[in-house]
């Protein structure tokens, strides 16, 4: 595919279709040229802000007819080069579509436009005693989160975007508007198009409205911290807890380097050893019982200093620190960038997988830390690189690829939550096989025959 730059008549053609202002301003193009990954930026030819499903439909119909690539843009926090407009065209900015359309507390659901961010939604839901559970470390948009199949620290208890998107309105490449799913707790009506579009990374359709499942704020929440002599002990303890069926709401592993970064970044004084953070949700008595069961299990894995708190500000401080782990890794290495890997394995393979990643990374000069949503078998390595040395980026890509291939060989996946983007195309092929990728490509070809939606992501044309 060749890069597409819009000519003045195409810019004014699109301008006529929307209420906002098409931008070719350099700083706006730069803002839409990259995500939070270390992938090299590529400017779109224009940035098109949209305000309604109708506008998205008109713009897509036009771009399809003119064969102009369209990359949907939410908050740009993705980590595999997802929003980089590799072939120019337009960046379709959905961040102004940020209305909460309807709250239905009795049905435990909300309808939102795709540009609403998860923190903005939770601020509104708090007034109703409700919360939306999926919490990636960045304040991403719900459209972007649906499009990447995002997950977070509470997925072990409440599920990821894949479980929490009930229905959606989406616009296909030719401008056709479709409605998928319903606001019902169960549904068995035909192909599950909602789940097809969740995780499709803007390659099949542009999401313009979401119906999401929300939860009542638990009566009691408590957090606990446990420390371990080794990384393997901590990870093995977490997997044992999950196997026992204890209803933990969060269970996050942080290695010693990660704790060191957080101490510096958050002004904390945690002992710099491998650590598990837990959270328990339920009745006052249930929470105490769950915490006691966890305390007993971790002691069998040499876990010590079991510290627990139900103090709200302490609990929030702990999880705020966890959510800042990515930024802590970067800011403790001034001027550097972070590359975040994302792999998941079956629970029993997790201790070996984390040890393997640590062993491989230790053979190289790049600083790194390891953390993960261990109760889901999902972990990340944060690798620090100098953005002024592009050769480092290539080296790190090779190291990550080596780890990824080994993870796939042990029955794992190349991504538990970040998605494929432009970075894991080869890994996806290895993981699912050429036949399955051919089916994905056939679906794409049917829905987007001119290949205008986020070309160059998930698989090549």
Ligand X SMILES: Cc1cc2nc3c(=O)[nH]c(=O)nc-3n(C[C@H](O)[C@H](O)[C@H](O)COP(=O)(O)OP(=O)(O)OC[C@H]3O[C@@H](n4cnc5c(N)ncnc54)[C@H](O)[C@@H]3O)c2cc1C
112 counts as binding ligand X under rule CB under 6 A? no
**With respect to ligand X, which residue has the nearer C-beta, 281 or 323?**
323
151 counts as binding ligand X under rule CB under 6 A? yes
**With respect to ligand X, which residue has the nearer C-beta, 143 or 234?**
143
Question: What whole-number distance in Å separates Cα of residue 340 and Cα of residue 38?
Answer: 9
Where do we find the tokens 């926090």?
A: 77
73 counts as binding ligand X under rule CB under 6 A? yes
In the window 420-449, what residues touch ligand X (CB under 6 A)? none
375 counts as binding ligand X under rule CB under 6 A? no
**With respect to ligand X, which residue has the nearer C-beta, 50 or 437?**
50
DSSP annotation string for 159-172:
--HHHHEEEEEEE-
206 counts as binding ligand X under rule CB under 6 A? yes
147 counts as binding ligand X under rule CB under 6 A? yes
SS3 (DSSP) at 413 = strand
Contact criterion met (CB below 8 Å) for 47 and 90: yes
Distance from the Cα of residue 145 to its chain's centroid: 6
418 counts as binding ligand X under rule CB under 6 A? yes
279 counts as binding ligand X under rule CB under 6 A? no
**With respect to ligand X, which residue has the nearer C-beta, 119 or 244?**
119
**With respect to ligand X, which residue has the nearer C-beta, 77 or 341?**
77
Among 4, 48, 75, 262, binds ligand X (CB under 6 A): 75
Question: What whole-number distance in Å separates Cα of residue 329 and Cα of residue 331?
Answer: 6
Contact criterion met (CB below 8 Å) for 423 and 454: no
What is the pairing mode between strands 90-93 and 70-73?
parallel
Residues contacting ligand X: total by CB under 6 A? 36
Question: What whole-number distance in Å separates Cα of residue 30 and Cα of residue 117?
Answer: 22
**With respect to ligand X, which residue has the nearer C-beta, 148 or 257?**
148
Show the CA angle centred on residue 157, arms to residues 346 and 324, nearest 5°.
85
**With respect to ligand X, which residue has the nearer C-beta, 234 or 338?**
338
DSSP state of 4: B
Q: Least distance (Å) from ligand X to the CB of residue 367?
A: 17
Segment near ligand X (CB under 6 A); pick from 136-144, 248-256, 273-281, 362-370: 136-144
Among 17, 42, 46, 72, binds ligand X (CB under 6 A): 72
50 counts as binding ligand X under rule CB under 6 A? no
Segment near ligand X (CB under 6 A); pick from 46-54, 79-87, 235-243, 402-410: 79-87
Sketch the per residue contact string, 161 through 200, with ligand X: x for CB under 6 A, - otherwise.
----------------------------------------
Give every CB contact of residue 111 below 8 A, 6+ residues apart in sequence. Answer: 100, 101, 102, 104, 209, 210, 211, 212
Contact criterion met (CB below 8 Å) for 17 and 58: yes
69 counts as binding ligand X under rule CB under 6 A? no
Question: What whole-number distance in Å separates Cα of residue 87 and Cα of residue 431?
Answer: 26
157 counts as binding ligand X under rule CB under 6 A? no
Contact criterion met (CB below 8 Å) for 91 and 202: no
Question: What whole-number distance in Å separates Cα of residue 247 and Cα of residue 154?
Answer: 11
Give the interface with ligand X as residue ranges (CB under 6 A).
Answer: 35-36, 71-79, 82-83, 94, 114, 136-138, 140-141, 143-145, 147-148, 150-152, 201-202, 206-207, 326, 417-418, 454
């Amino acid at each position: 595919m060749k890069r597409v730059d819009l000519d003045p008549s195409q810019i004014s053609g699109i301008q006529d279709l929307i209420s906002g202002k098409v931008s070719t301003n350099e700083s706006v193009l730069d803002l839409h040229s990259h995500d939070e990954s270390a992938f090299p930026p590529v400017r779109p030819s224009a940035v098109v802000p949209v305000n309604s499903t109708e506008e998205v439909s008109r713009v897509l119909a036009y771009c399809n007819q003119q064969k102009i690539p369209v990359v949907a843009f939410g908050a740009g926090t993705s980590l595999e080069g997802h929003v980089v407009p590799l072939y120019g065209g337009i960046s379709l900015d959905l961040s102004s579509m940020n209305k909460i359309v309807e709250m239905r507390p009795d049905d435990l659901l909300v309808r939102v436009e795709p540009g609403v961010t998860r923190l903005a939604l939770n601020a509104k839901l708090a007034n109703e005693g409700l919360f939306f559970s999926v919490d990636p470390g960045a304040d991403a948009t719900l459209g972007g989160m649906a499009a990447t199949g995002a997950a977070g620290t509470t997925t072990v208890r409440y599920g990821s975007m894949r479980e929490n998107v009930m229905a959606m309105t989406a616009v296909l490449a030719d401008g056709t508007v479709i409605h998928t799913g319903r606001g019902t707790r169960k549904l068995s009506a035909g192909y599950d198009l909602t789940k097809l579009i969740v995780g499709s990374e803007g390659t099949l359709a542009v999401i313009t409205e979401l119906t999401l499942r929300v939860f009542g704020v638990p009566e009691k929440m408590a957090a606990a911290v446990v420390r371990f002599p080794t990384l393997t002990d901590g990870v093995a303890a977490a997997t044992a807890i999950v196997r026992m069926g204890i209803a933990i709401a969060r269970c996050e592993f942080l290695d010693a380097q990660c704790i060191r970064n957080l101490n510096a970044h958050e002004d904390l004084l945690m002992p710099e050893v491998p650590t598990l953070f837990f959270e328990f949700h339920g009745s006052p008595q249930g929470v105490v019982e769950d915490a006691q069961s966890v305390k007993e299990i971790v002691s069998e894995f040499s876990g010590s200093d079991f510290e627990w708190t139900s103090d709200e500000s302490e609990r929030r401080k702990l999880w705020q620190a966890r959510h800042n782990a990515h930024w802590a890794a970067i800011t403790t290495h001034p001027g550097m960038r972070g590359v975040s890997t994302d792999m998941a394995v079956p629970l029993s393979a997790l201790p070996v997988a984390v040890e393997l990643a640590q062993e491989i990374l230790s053979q190289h000069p790049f600083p790194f830390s390891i953390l993960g949503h261990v109760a889901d078998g999902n972990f990340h390595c944060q690798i620090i690189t100098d953005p002024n040395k592009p050769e480092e980026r290539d080296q790190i890509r090779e190291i990550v690829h080596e780890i990824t291939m080994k993870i796939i060989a042990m029955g794992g996946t190349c991504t538990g939550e970040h998605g494929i983007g432009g970075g894991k195309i080869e890994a996806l092929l290895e993981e699912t096989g050429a036949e399955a990728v051919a089916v994905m490509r056939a679906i794409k070809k049917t829905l987007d025959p001119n290949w205008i939606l986020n070309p160059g992501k998930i698989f090549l044309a």
